[in-house]
Structure 1
Amino acid sequence: MNRNNPPIPVPLLMLVGIVAISFSSIFIKWSVAPVSVQGMYRLLFTFLLMLPFARPYSGAAAALRLRDWLLLFASGTMLALHFLLWMGSLTFTSVASSTMIMALQPVFIMVGAYIWYKEKTAGSAILGMGIAILGVVFIGWGDVGLSADHLKGDLLSIGGTVAVAIHMLIGQKLVVRMPSFLYSLMVFFSAVIVFAVYNLAAGIPFFNYPAREWGIFVLLAVVPTVFGHILFNWLLQYVSATTVSMNILGEPVGASLLAFLLLGEQLKALQWAGGLLVLFGLAVYVFAGRRIHNDFIDKGVTINE
């Protein structure tokens, strides 16, 4: 992991990313296209936006080993699976419930990081995680499991959460060996291929969508992907996958507020209280994580390599 700090403070970058990804569920709810088509064009348009800036990374791409390419494809496959399952969950359950469950990914990340990378987490950071997760549970408490459709949406969101956790753990391994831009570019391209094969096999049309849908595809590419996922991938150079995923816990707060304002989804008092708990838990976790990171730097030790 890079010992230096990014040119812009990490908390500010995290805030930008959280706001950006909070719009994702809103755009998905507005669209009537199949979620696999939304996911495919979301990543395809992002890939095309990034492609003009890819030439400086051609040397780094040529230096990649076969194992790196296989891991990139695996990461892209997990990203495609995440979008397919999570975006599909929004068809059956509310924004608050779906994003609440997806925000539990730090649990999977923390376990995976400990098993694969021997990454340890301080007790104070675990406390922050617990507070934030409790707040996330409050946000979705009112409508989780109220019907068969809600249960189906919940299960889809859980599957998507596991997939994105694996995607992030693979990414943490790869970004120490290649530029984050190259990593994102190749992972998005891999995910596009996976989506294209899926749509082709399922007989889902690639075209014949109204202009409004194409506009939503572009918004999905620019807002939550470029200013959300790409930003978080870049931050993996400076902070651990666990820290990045913990800050994504802010998405249920932002998404629930946007769903209330733009979709008319009602929030209960318990959910508003949950939002405050999430923010407080994030503050505790980020403070503990930054203190540990700085301690390692002061001792001249690199972490998570």
Structure 2
Amino acid sequence: MNTRSPRQRPGLTTVVALVVAVLAVSSSAPLIAFAAAPALAIAFWRNGLAAVALTPVTLGPRRRELAGATRRSLAFCFLAGVALAAHFATWMPSVQLGSVATATALVATQPVWQGLIAAAQGRRPSTAGWIGIGLAVAGAAWATGVDVGVSGRAVFADVLALLGAVAAAVYTALGEQARTTLSTTTYTWICYGTCAVGLLLVCLVGRVDLAGYDARTWAAILALVAGAQLLGHSMFNYALQHTSATTVSVLILLEVPGAALLAWVWLGQRPHADVLPGLLLLLAGVAVVVLGAARANRAVEPALAD
């Protein structure tokens, strides 16, 4: 019999944490578009500075955990870091090449790709999951089709955003394996550090300028680190202790309209009317995928508990 007590309704502190988290991650794409620096350089500084910020905790209170980490866990951390570097190296340039609204919506298809990865591993999505995948793919095709009439650069940005979503799904799948034995802080420190080193090598090989920016650009980079990279994810992790992962996953989708609104007000990027139906269809599909997966997990839990 399932003896677990039901999860309590989230309190005011959890609600505030979720609002702060959504606002923090919504600022990511507009800040990237605003910063007058190469996207790869921004990605390097974003992860490198975040890793530096986490170092005192990891090498302090968490040093025993780090020293006792197994080779398997470390291997998954490093591989997740490589996947994260691929995510940032594709999605962040897409924000600067295309529109904030479309790039953010396309990268939000991450749960769709996670569902397909699970299917390839033998864990078939539910009927609702397949319906959601179909809706999301149709929405992405709609949005990209509109961009075909805009420019080749816009289509290239869409492709990069989708590749960023695939890389994010791989990063999440690898991270799930690493976090079975490691805390969030230790895992994140290794992952961000690996990602930063990989991006640094790419920047050096490609001769990407890593300095010489104006004060506004450095302010935007620091805001990315403090906001989307550290505060946003920290608040989501806090909320997960007090509410369901499904609720958090659905609320993360609010990043799309949030980023679009910020880009409109701040950068003057008004979303193209023809692309909005596709983006709404895409978001609906992702929501169906998330809710379908949650329902399937709930159906399995009683059998596992008996």
Q: Does 1:216 align with 2:213?
A: no
Q: 1:132 to 1:8 in 2, by over 3 A?
A: farther
Shift of residue 29, structure 1, vs aligned partner: 0.8
Q: TM-score, normalised by structure 1?
A: 0.80
Query: SS of the residue aligned with 2:74?
Result: helix
Q: Does 1:70 align with 2:75?
A: yes
The AA in structure 1 aligned to 2:262 is L
- Which consecutive residues of structure 1, in runs of 5 or more, have no partner in the other structure? none
The AA in structure 2 aligned to 1:31 is A
From 6, 30, 46, give the equivalent of 2:34: 30
From 254, 259, 263, give the equivalent of 2:263: 259
The aligned counterpart of 2:55 is 51
From 97, 109, 116, give the equivalent of 2:102: 97
Query: SS of the residue aligned with 1:85?
Result: helix
CA RMSD of aligned residues (A): 3.6
* Distance across 1 between alignment mates of 2:304 and 2:163: 39
- Does the CA contact (< 8 Å) of 1:139 and 1:252 recur in 2? no
Deviations 1:204-245 (A, max 9, x none): 3433222222111111112111234456678899978x9977
Q: 1:69 to 1:287 in 2, by over 3 A?
A: closer
The AA in structure 1 aligned to 2:74 is W
* Distance across 1 between alignment mates of 2:64 and 2:80: 21
* Distance across 2 between alignment mates of 1:8 and 1:60: 33
The aligned counterpart of 1:180 is 184
- Does the CA contact (< 8 Å) of 2:38 and 2:209 recur in 1? no
* Distance across 2 between alignment mates of 1:246 and 1:111: 18
- Does the CA contact (< 8 Å) of 2:129 and 2:288 recur in 1? yes
* Distance across 1 between alignment mates of 2:286 and 2:18: 11
Q: Does 1:113 align with 2:115?
A: no
Query: SS of the residue aligned with 1:121?
Result: coil
- Does the CA contact (< 8 Å) of 2:105 and 2:279 recur in 1? no
* Distance across 2 between alignment mates of 1:114 and 1:281: 17
Shift of residue 296, structure 1, vs aligned partner: 3.5
- Does the CA contact (< 8 Å) of 1:181 and 1:234 recur in 2? no
Q: 1:226 to 1:245 in 2, by over 3 A?
A: same
The aligned counterpart of 1:225 is 229
1:114-153 mapped onto 2 (5 Å cutoff)? 114-116=119-121, 118-131=122-135, 134=138, 142-144=146-148, 146-153=150-157
Query: SS of the residue aligned with 1:203?
Result: coil
Identity %: 28
Q: TM-score, normalised by structure 2?
A: 0.80
Q: 1:221 to 1:26 in 2, by over 3 A?
A: same
Q: 1:165 to 1:244 in 2, by over 3 A?
A: farther
Q: 1:136 to 1:205 in 2, by over 3 A?
A: closer
Shift of residue 9, structure 1, vs aligned partner: 4.6
1:280-295 mapped onto 2 (5 Å cutoff)? 281=285, 284-295=288-299
Deviations 1:271-298 (A, max 9, x none): 4555655665565555444443334333
